[in-house]
Copies of this chain bind each other. A is one copy, B any other.
């Protein structure tokens, strides 16, 4: 028998997911007379906005991950449970775990989202997305192995493929990834190789919308696009990906179709609600939307179930002003605060009928080295000052004080020396037979059979 919580007489609030939304909900309940159980598959809270820094070797995984237990060490009414939720029994108010079950009085589902290939799940193996620490270390591995392979490749066409990096999606993640790749190629590893010039790497952003960073005002988008091009990055807007294989990506736009030879496609395009979303929807007799999200009222609860809330990237909702909520950390955080307040009020017999209202405090994204775009209300900023703002805001949001200092130190160091010390290739204990991964046509196979000679 598995024990999770001791017998309690106070109401039991179960929160699924230790991301921004779940964490904030649990913290907001710290002074309330409830028992909180925070369930997560991982033992850490992940600061996702900096995941691209891990993927590009600027930070270590532990720098942006904080153990959930240490966050809640002093919050006596909160218990952390490392477990995987498999299904919901809403009538009986219980969760089915992979290895047991868990009863609740109030349920907050903040299970987040994963990336979506818009129905082309077969692209997942060649075009990794960036949502988890595992994703980040796989991308890090893929990127740095590409340069290693190019260093050894003699065929100029294949070498060009190896040194071409295509980022699908021109939102903040895509732009930040591409900017970091450019910094790596042009500065970090510039003098590391003997047979290639890393600064010749071709970096491409593919975006379906009219602009990169499309949710910013148009003037800002234009200035951002210029900054991105200054880094030597190609931007293909109004362009869709029609095919991804191990050595090319096919694009389609109004101007026609084209294929780019590349062995590294990084996926920063669509998001799709966690699989838990569809299970929850099914348990309610509902369906998720096309993005796998669960529809909730503007009070964040499921229609007809006052005790079941969905917040963050998994929730499909408009707020009290009728604004559709984007998948951003501040939205999840404010929803967490709202839901906690609503639960506490219910316990005191008060009914909060005011809907959730999102206060937009602005958005920001970095573009490569020491440049950023920031929008706060009607004020906009592009460049170095914007980057300093980005830096301060992100550092302050990091949960653990030690990590703030470590990241500040590491960034300062990386900035001054152009280095990226975390660019180690980990994963499989053997080195991947780089050559084998990419050989799939006959001529190359023959070459392999006849033996590849390395000449001095």
A interface, CB within 8 angstroms of B: 1-8, 12, 41-44, 60-63, 65-67, 69-70, 73-74, 79, 81-84, 97-103, 132-134, 137, 144-145, 148, 152-155, 189, 191-195, 400, 402-403, 405-406, 409-410, 413, 417, 419, 421-426, 429-431, 433-436, 447, 451-456
Contact = CB atoms under 8 A, between A and B. Distances in A.
21 contacts: A1-B455, A2-B452, A4-B456, A41-B430, A43-B148, A62-B422, A62-B423, A62-B424, A66-B421, A67-B192, A67-B424, A69-B192, A81-B152, A82-B145, A82-B148, A99-B434, A99-B436, A100-B152, A100-B454, A134-B429, A402-B419
Nearest to A64: B424
Given A42-B424, A62-B424, 7 more contacts: A6-B195, A44-B424, A44-B425, A65-B424, A132-B429, A402-B417, A409-B409
A42 B7 CA distance: 51
Query: Shortest 8 CB-CB distances between A and B: which pairs?
Result: A100-B454, A69-B192, A60-B60, A62-B422, A3-B154, A41-B431, A60-B62, A82-B148
Nearest to A427: B134
A161 to B, nearest CB: 15
Nearest to A195: B3
B431 A152 contact: no
Contacts of A132: 429
Contacts of A434: 99
Contacts of A63: 60
Given A65-B424, A434-B99, A453-B1, A144 B402 contact: no
Contacts of A403: 421
Given A12-B456, A103-B456, A421 B2 contact: no
Contacts of A83: 152, 431
Scoring A2, A98, A406 by chain B CB atoms within 10 A of each residue's CB, the highest score goes to A2
Given A43-B425, A132-B429, A102 B454 contact: yes
A116 to B, nearest CB: 17
Given A6-B195, A8-B456, A61 B402 contact: no
A25 to B, nearest CB: 19
A372 to B, nearest CB: 24
Nearest to A149: B82
Contact of A431 (B62, B82, B424, B429): B82
A5 B154 CA distance: 11
B144 A101 contact: no
A128 B143 CA distance: 29
B456 A7 contact: yes
A421 B3 CA distance: 27
